Chains A and B, each alone.
Chain A
Amino acid sequence: MDTVWLFVKAFVVGGLICDIGQLLIMNTKLTNARILVLFVTGGVLLTALGLYKPLVDFAGAGATVPLTGFGYSLAMGAIEAVNRYGFWGAFVGGISRTAAGITAAIVFGLLNALIFKPHAKP
């Protein structure tokens, strides 16, 4: 039962975060790139203000999988690294905590370019 509840929370919170993005797509002239930037920096800011961590604790992947969760990891990484290394931690923490995701995107992106060919849309 607890597992089902975990998934319900992830589904609803994740879906609602995506709907905020959908609202921006349908009602503003913001381009995709701008919306993605807005979500990541928004996640960083909310985390810094201490507002995003409770959402992650509540919804799990529902809060970490959307790009705001990427911002959460960046900000949490920076804060934890400052605790550990002092000032220079600010320059290390963000990237090191998100390194796996960024590296995976670059490596798999490159592999894709090797394997697949561009295709036309129907």
Chain B
Amino acid sequence: MSRMGSQTFVYDRPPAIAAHRSIAGPKEGKGPLAAWFDTVLEDDILGQKSWELAEMEMVRRCVQAALNEAHVTDEQAQAMLGGDLNNQIIASSFAARALGVPFIGLYGACSTFVQALVIGSALICGGFLDNAVCVASSHYCTAERQFRFPLELGSQRPPQASWTATACGCALLSNEDRGGLRVTSGTVGRIIDLNISDANHMGAAMAPAVFDCIAAHMADTGRTADDYDLIATGDLGWIGRDLLLELASAADMPLPPDRLIDCGASLFYQEQDAHAGGSGCGCVASVACGWLMKRLEAGDIRRLLLVGSGAMFSPTSSQQAQSVPGIAYAACIERRD
């Protein structure tokens, strides 16, 4: 285990991704990635009494499915690292209550899944854990009532607004020596704030932080964008992705548009009325676990830089007219034979 440069962990015994699972909601299940998700939900409530409990149940099912796939029992699971968008991350902690797995609650807004990968890999590489479940979720209905308005209120969204995905993704990291996917390095981003105060425009608020994190990763590891088959950002959306490309070329380290995708911009068709694209912790988690990791396994790409992006605001900070700071975490995932 070693540190490179100012912000990057390089895992010299890179943890393996022993299993990964994704669950997507009904709307997400009608999008372009529908066929890739392991489970597409039929409704948003999952037989529960509230949206919050439904999100908790989604996390529980996702983690359980990943553990089953790797034949790890609840008792053998050594840690669950995860978070969501609810106040005090209740979806993740209530799911951890149901599973009985030791729990490390994280909050990186929509970047939480990649944050969990970076920290979980470090704990495994450092020998503190043999395995770790990394999970993140979001639910349109819980996020909407917490951050914006009640669902029944008739209001319009501006074109820059994103659609919180109802989705969950979970990856089980393990120190087993095996072929397949490995997390080889991770970069912890800084909070960057370029004074965007429109809480609807999260792509604009997060793009500078994503750029900063990618630039730090490249500087720390001595790599360039050409070393990656694919760079996947979390939930910048269509507009945020354009902004990231502009920022990168202005800083003289252009990113290749054909090898830069955004999970949020990939989640919905334009006609699905998601405006700028999907967002939420579950967006990058489900797209990474459902689509990108399967593409890595298929050998269609061999080295992926997954960059989760988060907007660190709350309804309180918004009402107090504060700007929206961004954060990003990057994890390099590679296929080893």
Contact = CB atoms under 8 A, between A and B. Distances in A.
Interface residues of A, number: 8
A25 interface: yes
A32 B155 contact: yes
Nearest to A119: B151
A25 B141 contact: no
Interface in B192-224: 198
A32 B149 contact: yes
B51 interface: yes
A119 B250 CA distance: 45
Interface in B104-137: none
B162 to A, nearest CB: 14
A29 B198 contact: yes
A96 to B, nearest CB: 29
State the main secondary structure of chain A at its contact with B. Answer: loop
B175 to A, nearest CB: 40
B45 A120 contact: yes
Interface string A1-43: 0000000000000000000000001000100100000000000
A121 B151 contact: yes
A121 B273 CA distance: 11
A120 B141 contact: yes
A7 B144 CA distance: 38
B51 to A, nearest CB: 7
B11 interface: no
B156 interface: yes
A118 B152 contact: yes
B140 A121 contact: yes
Contacts of B153: 32
Nearest to B152: A118
A45 B43 CA distance: 48
Nearest to B155: A32
Interface in B44-87: 44-45, 51
A118 B27 contact: no
A120 B152 contact: no
Interface in B140-180: 140-141, 149, 151-153, 155-156
A11 to B, nearest CB: 20
B141 to A, nearest CB: 5
A122 interface: yes
Nearest to A29: B198
The 8 tightest CB contacts between A and B, nearest first, are A120-B44, A32-B155, A120-B141, A121-B151, A118-B151, A25-B156, A29-B198, A122-B27
Interface of B: 26-27, 43-45, 51, 140-141, 149, 151-153, 155-156, 198
